Amino acid sequence: MRGVSRRQSKTKMLPSLPPRHSRAVLKFEGLEMGWKGTLRSLEASARRSERNSQRRQRELQKRQAQYAKMEALEQAAYEVDVYNNQIDVLLSVHKACGEDIDWSSFINRVEPVQPRRTNLAEIEALTREQTFAPGVFARLFRLENRQRNKLKALVESAKLADNERFAQETQDWRTEHRDWQQEYSLATRIIAGEAQAKLDAIKRLDPFSDISHLGTSIRFSFGASGIIEATLNVHGSHVVPSETKSLLQSGKLSTKQMPISKYNELLQDYVCSCVMRVGRELLALLPDDIVIVTAVDALLNPVTGHVEDLPVLSVVFSGQTLSRLNVEAIDPSEAMKNFTHNMAFKKTVGFAPVQRVEPPSGHRI
C-alpha cells in the first residue's frame, strides 16, 4: 500500500539570475527578463500555480452560492463532491512546491544602467521645420506662415515628449535598480549563511500561503548548527473531518462517523504531507542541503495532565534524498522512512508526543 518510487534528480539550472505544481526550475535570463524584479516574478509564479484539487476546490466554492437553489439530490451530490475534494487537498499538500532558486545567479546580474536624456523627437521635428518647402497650393492661398507655425508648435510638442519619455525611463530605472539592489543584497546575505536573510527570503516569497487556509501556522528558528528548523502547528482536529459522506443508491446523502482507525490514518497522512511540503519548499528556496521540520498538535501531556501543543512528528529532510522520490506517487506517511525522524503513531490511538530530532552530528551550515 505505501510504496516509494524513484524520480529523476532535481537540477538547479538558473544561469545569470532568477513561488505549486511539479518541481520545475525557472531559468531567468537578465536581458530577456528585463529588470522587473525576479523575486516578484517568483512570487507571482507561486501564487498562480495550483494543483487540480485546489482548482476543483475553487470551483466548488463558486457553486456554494447556488446551493439553496439546488434540488435535494443535487445538494447531496454537491456535498459529497466537497467532501472528496477536501480529502484530496489534505492528502496532496506535499505534491506542490516552488521552483529551485540559484541565489548565486543573483550576484552575477549586471547593474541596471541609468538612462540618458535624448532629444530624438525634437531633432526629427526640427528637421521637418528646417527642410520645409511650401508648395504651389500653400503659396497660392497664402498658407505658408500657418504651416510654418504648425511645424514650430510640433517642435515644442516634441520637446515635451522627449522630457516625458526621459522621466518615465528614469522612473522605471529607479524601480528596476531598487529591485536589483534588494535582490543582490539578499542573495549576498543568504550565500553568506545569514539566518535573518533566509527568514527575509521566506517572508518575501511566502511559499506556504496556499496551505495557511488549512489552519496550519509555521514559525522558523535556527539552532547553533545554523540549520533552519520549521515548526508547524497542524491543528489536526480542526482540519481533518471526523465524518464520511457518500451517496446512497437512491442518490441521497449518507453521513457517518468516520471509524477511528481511518480518521487516525488520514490525520497521519495529512501531517506527514504538510511536513514534507515544508521541507521541500525550504530546500527549494534556500541553498541548504538539510532542514528540520517538526509538526506539533494538541495532545494530552501525560506529565501535566493538560492538553498542549506537543511535537508529533520531527524530521531531518535531505535535499539529496528528496530529489530521488516520486512525490506524485508516494504515500506521505510511508515516505518518512526515507529520513531520520521521530514519530509515535498507532491506528487505534493516533499520535503520541515525541522529541524533536537533533541536527546530524557535526553538520553545520
Q: Span 113-141, mean pLDDT?
A: 80
Residue keyed to cell 506517511: 333
User: What value, to the nearest 5°, has the Cα angle with vertex 185 and ends 181 and 191?
Assistant: 145
Q: What is the pLDDT of residue 71?
A: 81
Q: Where are the alpha helices (DSSP H) in 92-143?
A: 104-107, 120-130, 136-140
| Residue 216, C-beta contacts closer than 8 angstroms, at least 6 positions apart | 208, 232, 233, 234, 235, 239, 274
CA 248 to centroid of chain Cα atoms: 40
Contact 29, 41 (CB under 8 A): no
Share of the chain above pLDDT 70, in %: 76
Distance CA 300, CA 351 (A): 10
Q: What is the pLDDT of residue 203?
A: 92
Contact 332, 273 (CB under 8 A): yes
Distance CA 259, CA 247 (A): 18
pLDDT at 79 over 50: yes
Render pLDDT for 268-278 as a digit per residue (tens, 0 to 9).
999 999 999 99
pLDDT at 19 over 80: no
Q: What is the pLDDT of residue 68?
A: 64
Distance CA 266, CA 264 (A): 5
Q: Span 131-142, mean pLDDT?
A: 65
Render pLDDT for 245-269 as a digit per residue (tens, 0 to 9).
999 999 999 999 999 999 999 999 9
Q: Span 207-233, mean pLDDT?
A: 86
Render pLDDT for 288-308 as a digit per residue (tens, 0 to 9).
999 999 999 999 888 888 899
Q: What is the pLDDT of residue 148?
A: 76
φ, ψ for residue 201 (rounded to 5)?
Answer: -65, -40
Q: What is the pLDDT of residue 97?
A: 92
Helix (H, G, I), strand (E, B) or coil at 365: coil
User: What value, to the nearest 5°, has the Cα angle with vertex 189 and ends 188 and 193?
Assistant: 115
Task: For 275-309, give the DSSP string.
Answer: HHHHHHHHHHHSS-SEEEEEEEEEEE-TTTSSEEE
Render pLDDT for 26-70 as a digit per residue (tens, 0 to 9).
333 333 343 345 556 655 555 555 566 677 676 776 666 666 667
With both helix axes pointing from N to C terminus, report the angle between 144-191 and 120-130 in degrees, rounded to the nearest 10. Answer: 160
Which carries the bigger pLDDT value, residue 38 or residue 223?
223
Which carries the bigger pLDDT value, residue 80 or residue 56?
80
Q: What is the pLDDT of residue 341?
A: 98
Distance CA 26, CA 81 (A): 34
Task: For 139-188, give the DSSP string.
Answer: HHTT-HHHHHHHHHHHHHHHHHHHHHHHHHHHHHHHHHHHHHHHHHHHHH
Distance CA 44, CA 289 (A): 26
